[in-house]
Amino acid sequence: MIGVILAAGKSIRMMSDKTKLLHDLCGKPVIFYPAELMKSLKMKRIIMVVNDKIKSEMEKLFQGWNIDFVLQKEQTGTATAFLCALENISSQSCEYLFVMGGDTPLLDRCNAERFIEFVRSRNLEVGLISAVLDEPAGYGRIKRKDGRLEKIVEAKEASREEIKINEVNSGIYMIKSSCAQKLLTEVVRKSTHKEYYLTDIVEYAEKKEAYLVSNSDVILGINTRKEQSLIRKKLQAKIIEKLLNAGVTIIDPDNTYIDYDVKIGKDSIIHPQVCMRGSTIVGQNCIIDTGSVIEDSVISDEVSIYPYSVIEKSHIGKGCSIGPFSHLRPEVVLKENVKIGNFVEVKKSVVGENTKASHLTYIGDAEIGKDTNIGAGTITCNYDGYKKNKTKIGDRVFIGSNTEIVAPVEIDNDAITAAGTTVTKYVPPYSLAISRVPQQNIENWVKRYRKRKECAE
Q: Which residues are catalytic?
A: 359
Nearest to 270 by CA among 252, 244, 288: 288
**Dihedral, CA of residue 406, residue 407, residue 413 and residue 419, to nearest 10:** 10
DSSP-assigned letters across all residues of 331-354: S-EE-TT-EEEEEEEEES-EE-TT
How open is the CA angle 94-98-101, to the nearest 5 degrees?
145
Contacts of residues 404-410 at CB distance under 8 Å and 24 or more positions apart, as own/partner, are: 404/378, 404/379, 405/378, 405/379, 405/380, 405/381, 406/381, 407/365, 407/366, 407/380, 407/381, 407/382
What's the DSSP call for residue 40?
Answer: H
Omega cis (within 30) before 408: yes
* Residues 132/182, Cβ–Cβ less than 8 Å: no
Rg of the chain's alpha carbons, rounded to an integer?
A: 31
Helices 32-40 and 109-122, interaxial angle, to 10°? 60
Distance, CA of 145 to chain centre: 45
DSSP-assigned letters across all residues of 41-84: TT-SEEEEEE-TTTHHHHHHHTTTS-EEEEE--S---HHHHHHH
For residue 164, count other CB atoms closer than 10 A to its CB.
Answer: 10
For residue 117, count other CB atoms closer than 10 A to its CB.
Answer: 11
The CA–CA distances, whole Å, from 445 to 436, 456, 457 equal 22, 17, 19
Nearest to 211 by CA among 116, 311, 305: 116
Beta 167-176 vs 96-101: how paired, if at all?
antiparallel
Instruction: Give the span between the Cα atoms of 282 and 305, in whole angstroms.
Output: 11
* Residues 323/306, Cβ–Cβ less than 8 Å: yes
Instruction: Give the span between the Cα atoms of 399 and 344, in whole angstroms.
Output: 15
Q: Residue 336 — left, alpha, or beta (φ > 0 → left; ψ -120 to 50 → alpha)? A: beta
